[in-house]
Structures are given as structure tokens and as C-alpha cells.
């Protein structure tokens, strides 16, 4: 890992989390010289449901990262549950993968180093300009600057890209439990005031996350409102500390200015209810590298909006269920009674079903059932 930069670099990435490393990897795949700087030290953890949907797995593989059975555990589909209802849908193609956030970060660091990216840890950037950036008391010249420094991005503020609708935030908490997996599906437990998420990340550990609009609702208290999930975890020891994070849909008016582009949570967020955050940032990285190669960041703006459209639409739909318990109950009833409707819903969610096919495939009829 290099700790010095003595030349002008093609692409300087600020932020060494998964989004920043994805941007670095994609840029190196196209032959650019790349430096990544982060104030932390790897592996970097964050509250996360730790499940990659099939489209996210494909995006990660496009970056040259293959996760083996010792690192990741496959899951076959999605299951929705409430107190009295349960509905499951398998993926129509490849499976999803569950992986500990720390393991994913290690794999991405390895890949970036393998490709020759220079990684500077414990090295915070203190400012940017058109010609480069300031870090550790010196100026580094860079042709392109990528802001991948998270939802509270300083790069976004420095580049005057803060404009956008104010997000409706939710509060998420995550912890791992030592317990044998009871399902080969990622499970979403619906309650009146929160959702719980359970994903087996190994043969002996399950990642459990909780999301709600109540900033005071922690995991232990939230589980008491989700008795089916709480029963599954009865007697299980905690395998990690509880971590919290903010989540919500946050769209920006712009994601680039001059030679600065944003990626990942710095460029706007999709609520964690979709499970699409990581996969979306990987796809953004490939699009950004392509646009940097052509010298057209305006094109990146178009690609960024296109990539976010489906996850944002699905997040809004699912959050509508979160705010309306009666509709939530009716939705699960329809999914339970008509499994093909849930299967089509999942195909739409992971991009296997183009939105225009909704009418052709009868999903609008399914939606009509939800509202009767």
C-alpha cells in the first residue's frame, strides 16, 4: 500500500469503502492510474444487511471479484413474513450471495491492489480544487476526482452538489447471531412499526438487521414486535456488536461538476429496504469508468439516473407498505395466495423483468388485487 503520490494521477478516489474501491477497480480495468485515500484503515465495517441480490453479484463479478464458498453463502430467493402470513419467491436465475461486510471489503482491497491501484489509508483529504486535492499537508494533482465518501460526503459539499430533495430518513441497526440457518432465503419480517431482515452469512451465523422510522427503536426492542423472528433467535448468542446507520431515499439534482463525480451513498441513497445499495454502487462504478474514458461526465449523469430508477421505484413501493399496515397485510395475502405474482415482483426487483412487461405479464392484475 503506497503512502505517497509524487505525480499527477488520472483518477483520485476519496473514500475507500466498497463504492470507492469499485470505482478504483473499474478505472484500473480501463488503464487509468488510480489513487484511493481514506481516513480509516481496512477492513472497514458498516451496518448493512450483507446480502447481494443476483444483479449485485453480477456487477461485482464484472469487477473481477469472485466470492468462493469460504467467503460467501448463497441464498435462493426472498421470503416475506408477518405474524400470520408467509410468502416466498425464488430467483429465476443465479442466486444471491450473503457475505460479511468485512470479508467483502477485504476482497475488494485485494482486487484493487492486484490491479495496481495505490491505496492510502489513514490519510484524510482536506479539500479539492479543479487541479487536484489537498491531503496530509501537500497538494496532489488529479485529472478526475471521485467522491465516494458516504452519505455525509464532504466532496459533495466541496463541489457544490448538495442540492436535492430532503430525504425521509429511517434508522437501521445490525447484529450477528450464532445460530444455525433456518432458511435458504433472505427473509423480511414485516411489523407495524419496523422491518426485520435475516440473512445467513455462514453455516453458523445469521445477520439480523432492523429498520424503522423511530430513532429510539433499537434491535432488542424491535425484535419484541417481530415475534416470529425473535423466536428463531431465542437463546442465540450475539456474535458482533450492534451497529447503526441512517437509511432513506436521497436523490441529488446533479452528481458531477467539472472534473468531480460522486458515486455510492455520496451520490444519493436508496433505502436499505431494497437490498440494492451495494449492487447499485458497483454498477455506477462501471458506468463512471466508461464515461471518464470518453471524457463525458454529463453522460454519467444520465447513466446514474437510469441505474437508480428501478431501485428507487421499488423502494418507494415497499415503503408505501411500511406506512400502510392494511396494504401491507393485503399484499402479503396476495403474495401467499398467488405465488406467481410475488415471483414477478421479485423478477422486476432484480431487473430480470423490464418494467414495460408488467402489463404483459399480469402484474397490474396482481396490483389490482392488492387494492380491492
CATH number at residue 221: 3.30.70
Same structural domain, 143 and 290: yes
In a domain, 91, yes or no: no
Domain membership flag for residue 86: no
186 and 161 assigned to the same domain: no
Distance between CA 147 and CA 104 in Å, rounded?
20
186-220, pLDDT tens digit by residue?
A: 999 998 889 999 999 999 999 999 999 998 999 99
Q: What whole-number distance in Å separates Cα of residue 121 and Cα of residue 52? A: 26
Q: Does 178 share its domain with 243?
A: yes
* Residue 26 shares a structural domain with residue 127: yes
Whether residues 48 and 107 share a domain: the answer is yes
Residues 119 and 242 in one domain: no
Q: Which three cell numbers stand for residue 58?
A: 453480477
157 and 44 co-located in one domain:
yes
Does 123 share its domain with 229? no
- Among 90, 91, 82, 92, residue whose Cα is nearest residue 331: 82
Same domain for 334 and 304, yes or no, is no
Intra-chain end-to-end CA distance of the chain, in Å:
60
On whether both 255 and 239 belong to a single domain, the answer is: no
Total tally of structural domains belonging to the chain: 3
pLDDT grade for 298, boundaries at 50, 70 and 90: very high
Q: Model confidence at 355, in pLDDT bands (50, 70, 90)?
A: low
Query: 235: which DSSP letter?
Result: T
**232, 247, 262 - which closes a domain:** 247
Band of the pLDDT at 3, cuts 50, 70, 90? very low
The string of pLDDT tens digits covering residues 94-143 is 999 999 999 999 999 999 999 999 999 999 999 999 899 998 788 999 99
Q: Say if 17 falls within a structural domain.
A: yes
Contacts of 236 (CB under 8 A, 6+ apart): 177, 178, 179, 206
Q: Tell whether 90 is covered by a domain.
A: no
Q: Given CA atoms 232, 237, 240, 246 in this order, what sign does their dihedral have?
A: positive
**Are 200 and 237 members of one domain?**
yes
* DSSP conformation letters of 83-102: SS-EEEEE-SSSPEEEE-HH
Residue 187 included in any domain: yes
Position 330 in a domain: yes
CB atoms within 10 A of CB 139: 12
Prediction pTM value: 0.91
Question: What tens digit of pLDDT does each residue of 139-194 get?
Answer: 999 999 999 999 999 999 999 998 767 778 899 999 999 999 999 999 999 988 89
- What ranges in the chain are assigned the alpha helix state H? 18-29, 54-62, 101-114, 154-158, 219-223, 227-232, 277-294, 297-323, 325-337, 339-349, 357-360, 363-370
140 and 103 in one domain?
yes
Domain boundaries, position 220: 170-247
Phi-psi region of 137 (alpha: psi -120 to 50; beta: other; left: phi over 0): left
pLDDT digits (tens, 9 = 90+) for 57-91: 999 999 999 998 888 999 999 999 998 899 999 99
For residues 26 and 243, what is the distance between their CA atoms, to the nearest angstrom? 29
Cell (9 digits) for 211? 429498520
Amino acid at each position: 500500500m503506497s503512502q505517497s503520490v509524487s505525480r499527477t494521477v488520472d483518477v483520485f478516489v476519496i473514500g475507500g469503502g466498497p463504492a470507492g474501491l469499485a470505482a478504483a477497480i473499474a478505472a484500473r480495468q480501463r488503464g487509468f492510474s488510480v489513487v484511493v485515500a481514506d481516513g480509516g484503515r481496512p477492513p472497514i465495517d458498516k451496518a448493512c444487511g450483507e446480502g447481494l441480490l443476483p444483479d449485485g453479484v453480477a456487477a461485482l463479478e464484472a469487477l473481477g471479484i469472485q466470492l468462493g464458498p469460504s467467503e460467501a453463502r448463497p441464498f435462493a430467493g426472498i421470503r416475506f413474513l408477518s405474524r400470520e402470513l408467509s410468502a416466498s419467491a425464488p430467483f429465476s436465475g443465479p442466486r444471491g450471495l450473503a457475505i460479511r461486510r468485512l470479508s467483502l471489503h477485504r476482497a475488494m482491497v485485494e482486487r484493487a491492489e492486484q490491479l495496481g491501484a495505490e491505496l492510502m489509508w489513514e490519510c484524510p483529504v482536506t479539500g479539492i480544487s479543479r487541479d487536484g486535492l489537498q491531503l496530509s499537508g501537500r497538494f496532489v494533482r488529479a485529472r478526475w476526482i471521485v467522491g465516494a465518501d458516504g452519505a455525509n460526503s464532504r466532496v459533495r459539499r466541496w463541489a457544490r452538489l448538495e442540492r436535492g430533495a430532503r430525504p425521509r430518513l429511517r434508522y437501521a441497526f445490525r447484529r450477528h447471531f450464532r445460530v444455525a440457518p433456518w432458511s435458504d432465503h433472505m427473509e423480511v419480517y414485516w411489523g407495524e412499526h419496523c422491518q426485520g431482515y435475516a440473512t445467513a452469512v455462514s453455516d453458523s451465523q445469521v445477520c439480523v438487521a432492523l429498520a424503522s422510522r423511530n430513532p429510539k427503536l433499537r434491535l432488542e426492542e424491535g425484535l419484541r414486535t417481530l415475534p416470529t423472528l425473535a423466536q428463531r433467535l431465542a437463546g442465540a448468542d450475539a456474535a458482533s456488536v450492534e451497529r447503526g446507520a441512517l437509511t432513506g431515499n436521497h436523490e441529488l439534482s446533479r452528481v458531477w461538476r467539472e472534473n468531480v463525480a460522486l458515486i455510492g451513498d455520496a451520490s444519493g441513497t436508496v433505502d436499505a429496504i431494497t437490498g440494492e445499495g451495494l449492487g447499485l454502487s458497483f454498477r455506477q462504478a462501471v458506468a463512471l469508468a466508461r464515461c471518464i474514458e470518453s471524457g463525458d461526465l454529463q453522460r454519467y449523469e444520465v447513466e446514474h439516473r437510469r441505474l437508480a430508477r428501478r431501485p428507487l421505484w421499488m423502494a418507494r413501493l415497499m415503503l408505501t407498505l411500511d406506512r400502510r399496515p392494511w396494504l401491507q397485510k393485503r399484499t402479503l395475502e396476495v403474495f401467499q395466495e398467488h405465488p406467481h405474482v410475488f415471483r414477478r415482483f421479485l423478477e422486476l426487483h432484480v431487473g430480470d423483468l423490464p418494467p414495460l412487461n408488467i402489463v404483459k405479464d399480469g402484474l397490474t392484475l396482481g396490483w389490482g388485487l392488492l387494492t380491492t
